[in-house]
Amino acid sequence: MNKKYIIAAAFLILGAVNQSCSSDFIDVSPTEAIPESNLEVYNNNEGATSFVTSIYAKFLDWDMSTFAWIGVTSIVSDDADKGSSPGDTGSDKDILDALNFTPSTPSFKELFTSNYQGINRANQALKYLPLLDKADPELRKRLAGEAKFLRAFMYFTLVRSFGGVPLVDHVPVSGVEEDRRMTLTRKTKEEIYAFIEKDLKDAIESLPDKSAYTGNNIGRASVGAAHALLAKVYLYQKKWQLAADECNKVTGYSLTPVFQDIYKVSGENNAESVFEINGSGGTAGRAIQQYSQVQGARGTTGWGWGFATPTQGLYDAFTAEGDTQRRDATIIHRDMTLYDGYYVGPFVENKFYNYKAYSSDYRSTGSTDVNIRYLRYAEVLLMKAEALNELGQTAAAIPLLNQVRQRAQIAPTSAVTQSEVRTAIWKERRLELAFEHDRWFDLVRTGQAQAAMAADGGKVFKVGKHELFPLPQDFIMEAGGLSQQNPGY
């Protein structure tokens, strides 16, 4: 949705409902419960909307969507190196790049706490929306669906990263022991996945089609987004038939004819977009905070810090497929003219940079105009292809894979057998979705991580350990035995 709308509404609601200053590591209790006399201020359509808009606003924060997130999804993988200058560690990005991280590595604490802060906002919205009886009932129903979608989205990030985590499904009451234990006790990953599935099924019952959103509401979660995310949740659990069924329900979308156009301002929330975090239209530093700057080219003709630089291995993977269209829309290189006419000279510090994070507006004015694309119709096609192939319906999977390849202007796959098609789909996901924050999780879920890391400069992926990130040490200490660390840490 419109960035200015997000921020204005977020400030409105967070004046009364925000993250607490409590000592609890999972910061989930509100600063104050809203007194019933004050709740009346929000008892209208605008007030109801502001509760949920504050959840979207969390995704604009540095700790949620920028440095830590880039580190634990891109830099840790074989798609990106640390980048920047050799002496600039980026706090811990060198450690992530080398797979030498520990429970004290700062990025994991940011990943953990920021998502629980967002979950807290979702829980508060779901607590207060039923009380706003002067707001339109249908609006409140939709808003509750959005809150559940976003809560599911955040729990999906947590379960993929850490496995089992605390399941905080309501606003805890201060001083209630049961609620304290809830915030500090890990549930199993199966319990977290079941909760995510329930939230998304509830959201599906409440959310409208994407086309129902207009004006400032463009970009809010839709029923198509809920079906697509549920398909992805099923895919990670190898529930192949359910994943395929959900993909079939993602209708009304189409592939953008020219791949590069997806990542321009004109491509935001277009016909291929299923769900993205909107960062356009804001003042400097108040969109998705420094997302473009952190990954921008570094040097005399650059505009950023130069972190998360594409690897030679990723560049070569595109080239081996003859996939120059996607390669040149994904990777900036020295001596290159960008789509807006800007010339990246030969003297930038690193050989490659992430083109999908490029913001023409940030480079020229200091404002960011880039959105983070999280769910696209191309991925829905690839998820359905993967699910059908695993179900033994390989002949039906191949045309879906080829739709994505055709848009990239490369030849249809030569894969025929189930095993060949599986490998082709995994490779296609890497090329299509590079720098869209899925590569590390894809490597882990498909069992490719050990080989991929070895090929990426001989890095050692320890089977039985690195499938999960370590829970932050501060959390383990505060839990006091209620939660145990992941194996190997």
Mean pLDDT of the chain: 92
pLDDT tops 50 at residue 41: yes
Which of 314, 307, 231, 236 is CA-nearest to residue 275? 231
Give 109-166 pLDDT, tens digit per residue.
999 999 999 999 999 999 999 999 999 999 999 999 999 999 999 999 999 999 999 9
**pLDDT at position 132, please?**
96
**What is the rounded distance in angstroms from the CA atom of residue 176 to the CA atom of residue 200?**
29
**Locus of tokens 């605390």:** 166
CATH architecture of 3-87+95-280+375-479: Alpha Horseshoe (1.25)
Position 38 scores a pLDDT of: 80
pLDDT at 19 over 70: no
- Span 274-283, average pLDDT: 75
pLDDT at 1: 44
Q: Give tens-digit pLDDT for 168-190.
A: 999 999 999 999 999 999 999 99
Answer whether 0.95 is exceeded by the pTM. no
d(C-alpha 280, C-alpha 367), whole Å: 8
What confidence category does residue 362 fall into, taking pLDDT thresholds of 50, 70 and 90? confident
Q: Give per-residue pLDDT as tens, 406-453.
A: 999 999 999 999 999 999 999 999 999 999 999 999 999 999 999 999
- The tokens for 320 are 């081996």
The pLDDT of residue 375 is 98
CA–CA separation, 20 vs 31, rounded Å? 4
Domain ranges of the chain: 3-87+95-280+375-479
**pLDDT tens digits, 201-254:** 999 999 999 999 999 899 999 999 999 999 999 999 999 999 999 999 999 999
> CA Rg, the chain, in Å?
22
The whole-number pLDDT of residue 346 equals: 95
pLDDT at 34: 60
* pLDDT bracket for residue 33 (50, 70, 90): low
